[in-house]
Chain A
Amino acid sequence: MLVPGTYPSFVRALRQGEIEGVIGIMRKDMCPHDLVETPLLEERFTIVARADHPVHATARTIKDLADVRWLVPPHGSPVRAFIERVFVEHEITPHLQTCEIQQFTAVEQMIANSNAVGIQSYSQRGLKMLRPDLRPLDISLPVDPAMIGLTTWQGMQDEPIFEEFRTVVKKLAAEARLTAPVQRRRGGRLSMPRPQTFVQKQNSPLRLCHIAFSTAECSLSQIERGSHDPGRSGLLCGRPLRQDRDVTALHTARRVDPRRHCVRMGSKGRWTNMFDRFFVREDSLVNDIENGEVVGFSLAVRNANYRGVYLSLHNGYYLSIDGVEYGRDVQTFEINGAAPRDFEEIKTAVHEHWDYDDEGILHVRKPGGLAPGEHNLRIQQSVLAAYGYRPTDEEWVRNPPVPGSGAGSDKAPDISEFTLTLSDEEPTR
C-alpha cells in the first residue's frame, strides 16, 4: 500500500504508535530528538531521463540542463535540497516546481512519458534495474550520498514481527550494498545497466525505500519474494494487527518545508567540521604485501578532532575507493605498536588510548590490492566520542552506528573526499 505523506505527519504517527517505522533518506542531525535512525544503505542522487531523450547526447554538465524541464520533488525533501545546492553552486537559478509528485514510481512514469528530466536517489542495484525506458544521465554530480535509513521512535518496544522486519530489511540492504557498482566508466560514458523487466525492478530492495506496506496487504514473505503489489494505494493504516508475519513500513516524506536550499554542514553545534580535509595522510596509500603476495592496501589516518580517545570508541570507517565500498569486515587498524586488529577487537581495547599525536594505519583486505596511480577515496571516521550522556547512548551499545551515516562521529560527521596516488614502489613502512 502506498502512503504519501509529509515528514512531520510521519513523525507524529510514529510517536502515536500508528506506524512503527519510516524508511527513507535519513535526516541525520535534523532528525527529531526522540527518533532513532538506523542506516541501511547508501544511494546516489541520479538524474534520469527517458532512454531516447536527445539530452543524453547533448548534456555533459549540469549547466547543459539549465533550460530543460525538470521534475523535482517538493521543497524540504533531501533530493530537492541536493539539486538546488548543485544549481546554486553552478550559478543556475533553481527551477520552480512545475509538478508535484510524491510517489517514486509515478515520477518515473512521468519522466518516461515526457521531455522532462528528474532526479531521485537510487542504489547501485536500483540503477541496474532501472526500467528500460529510462536512462541515467552521464552528468557528474557531487557524490554526497543519500543515506537510506529506518527511522523509529526511541520509546518503541519492537513487536516480534517488527524485529523480524528489521532483520529482513537489514539483510536486503546488505545485499544491495554488496552488489557490484554500476558506474563502470567506459570511454567516459556510463555503461548502460542492462535493465530487467519492470516487474522485477519493483521487487528490488530499493523499492523498500519508496513504498509503504500496510499490515493488511503485505507480509514479510511477500517482501522476501518481492511479490507484493505496490499498485494498491490507500491511506495510512492503523496500528499493525498481530497477523502472522505482517509488517508496517512507510514511504518517507516528499514534502517537508518550503523555501530552503541545503548546504552541507557538519552536524555539531557550529556545523563546522574539524580536519576533514586533512586526517588522511596524502602520501600514505600503499599495497600491503605478505609473503610476497599483495593481500590488500593501507593508508594512514589521524584522529579528526582536537584530542585523542580511548581506542575502544574507535568504530571504523566508511570507505569507498573508486566507487567500491570496503566495509568494516575487511578493515583492520594498526596502532600503538600492536599488530593490526579488526574493529571487533578494537572495541575491547577499553583501557588503551589512541593519543592525539599518533597516526594509525587502516588496512583493507583486498587480494591483489589496488592498481598504481590515482584513486578517489571517500572516507568517514567513526569515533563514538561524546560530551556526556546523549539520547543515543543505549541504542549505540546495542547497535553501533554504521560509519558513513554521520551518526557516531564527533567532529567529522561528513564523508570526505581525497585523491591519493598509489606508488608502485615497495612500501617503506
Chain B
Amino acid sequence: MSIKRGVSLYSYQQSQFFKELMLDDQIAEVGSIPGCEGIEIVDEMSLRYPDPGAEFIDHWFAMMERHGTVPVAMDVGMDVLQFRDHVMTIEENAERLRHDIRLAKRLGFTNVRVLSTTPLEVILGALGEAEKHDIRLGKEVHQPMALEGPQVTEILDHAARTGTMHLGIVPDLGIYQYRPSEALLKWFERKGAKSEATAAATRLSEPDPRRRDGRHVRRLAAHRGQHPLDFRRFLTSGEAPDICAAAFEGIRAFTNEHVPTPAEVDYLVVGEALTFSKTSPETLRQMAGHVTHVHAKFYEMSEIDGQPGVFHDRSIDTAAAMGALRRAGSPGYVNSEYEGQRYYQDRTRADLMSEVDQVRKHQSMLARLLG
C-alpha cells in the first residue's frame, strides 16, 4: 500500500478570505488534481463552528462523493481565554477537544490534529473519546521543534506503554527546511534587507558542511531550532537564553563580516539560519508507524535549474522526507500545506500569489517524489 496524497484546505486561506474559492470550490479543486484525493481542514476556517448543522453534513458527504475526495484530517485549535473570566483548565480544554473529535467523526475524518503546544494532559483527557470513535489524535511537530525531543518522546512513550493505536504525531515538513524560503527572502528585501544579507543567510544555511563557513557554523552546531523572536530580543536587549548566546554572537559576527554596515533587518535575515529544526530523515523513518499523516508544508514552488516545467520548493528537503516514508513502507496521507501566500500580503491585491497554482505545482512534485 502506497503513500496517498491530499491537500490541507489551509492552503486556500487567502482565496477564501477574498471569497474567490469557497469550501465547495476548494474541494472540487482538490478533486481535480490527478492522483490527489485527501482533504484536510482547519475546523474554524472551513466550517460553521462549533456545529455546522445536519444539512451541512449531508452536503459535505455529497461533495466528497461528487469529487472523489476523502476526509482525512481535521485540525483543531486551543484558545484558552474563551471564557474570559478565567484561563481554561486542562479539563476544559480536553472537553473542547472531545467535542472536536465528535465533530470530526460526523464529517467522516479519521484523524484530528492538535497543536504542537497542546499539553499531553489535554490530549490524554480526550484519548478515550478518540478511541471510542476510532479517531487518531496527532500532535503536530512544527518547526522549530524537531522529531528528536521530549515533546515527541512523551507521545511515543505513552503509545508504547499503553498500546493505544489512536495517538501519534503529525510532522510538518517545515522541520526539513534547511534554508530560508525565496518568499521570505524577497519579503525581507522589500523590508530593506541588503542582498549581501540574504546571500549570507543562504550561505550559512548551506547543507553541505564542506562548503559552509566552519568557524561560525561550529558555534551553531549545538544549536537547533531557535524561535526568531529570541534572536530579535537578543539584538535589542542583549539578552539570550544561555544555550543560544554563542550562536547569536556567531550570527552577529558572520553578518558583520559579510554585510556592509548591517542594519537590524540584515541581522534578522541572517538569523533565519538559526530557525531550522535540523531533524533527521532517518528519525522520520523510524517513527513512521506513529505518523497519523503529514503536513507537507511549503513556501514557494520554483523551477528547478535546467529543468523547465519541473518545480520544487528550494528551501525544504521534501525529497528526503518522502524517501524516509517510502523506506518505512507505512501507508498514510501526505497533505500539501501552502503557507507562502502571507509573505506577499504586504503588497497590493494584484501582487498576491495564486494558491491554486502553487498547490498544483506542489502536488506534481509530490507525485514525482512518491513515484
Interface residues of A (CB under 8 A from B): 7-8, 11, 27, 29-32, 76, 81, 84-85, 88-89, 256-257, 259-263, 265, 267, 269-278, 302, 306-310, 312-313, 347-348, 350-351, 353, 355-357, 384-390, 393-394, 396-397, 400
Contact = CB atoms under 8 A, between A and B. Distances in A.
A306 B42 contact: yes
B81 A357 contact: no
Contacts of A32: 233, 237, 239
A260 B236 contact: yes
Interface in B239-290: 239, 262-265, 267-268
Contact of B229 (A269, A273, A385): A269
B19 A273 contact: no
A306 B8 CA distance: 13
Contacts of A397: 81, 84-87
Nearest to B193: A263
Contact of A27 (B10, B50, B184, B237): B237
A353 B50 contact: yes
Contacts of A351: 50
Contact of A312 (B18, B45, B83, B236): B83
Contact of B236 (A30, A273, A308, A394): A30
A384 B77 CA distance: 13
A271 B184 CA distance: 10
A320 B353 CA distance: 31
A308 B76 CA distance: 12
Contact of A257 (B19, B237, B343): B237
A389 B232 CA distance: 22
Given A30-B233, A278-B345, A394-B87, 4 more contacts: A85-B192, A256-B236, A310-B82, A357-B16
A348 to B, nearest CB: 8
A30 B232 contact: yes
B229 A275 contact: no
Contact of A313 (B82, B117, B228): B82
Contact of A356 (B45, B78, B80, B343): B45
A29 B233 CA distance: 8
Contact of A8 (B13, B187, B228, B237): B237
Contacts of B237: 7-8, 11, 27, 30, 32, 256-257
A312 B115 contact: no
Interface string B4-38: 00000010011011110010000000000000000
Contacts of B45: 306-308, 356
B219 interface: no
Contact of A309 (B79, B228, B229): B79
Given A29-B232, A260-B236, A260-B267, A355 B84 contact: no
A393 B42 CA distance: 24
Contacts of B236: 7, 27, 30, 76, 256-257, 260
Contacts of A81: 264
Contacts of B44: 307-309, 353, 355-356
A327 B89 CA distance: 32
Nearest to A306: B13
Interface in B59-116: 77-87, 115-116
Nearest to A350: B83
A146 to B, nearest CB: 15
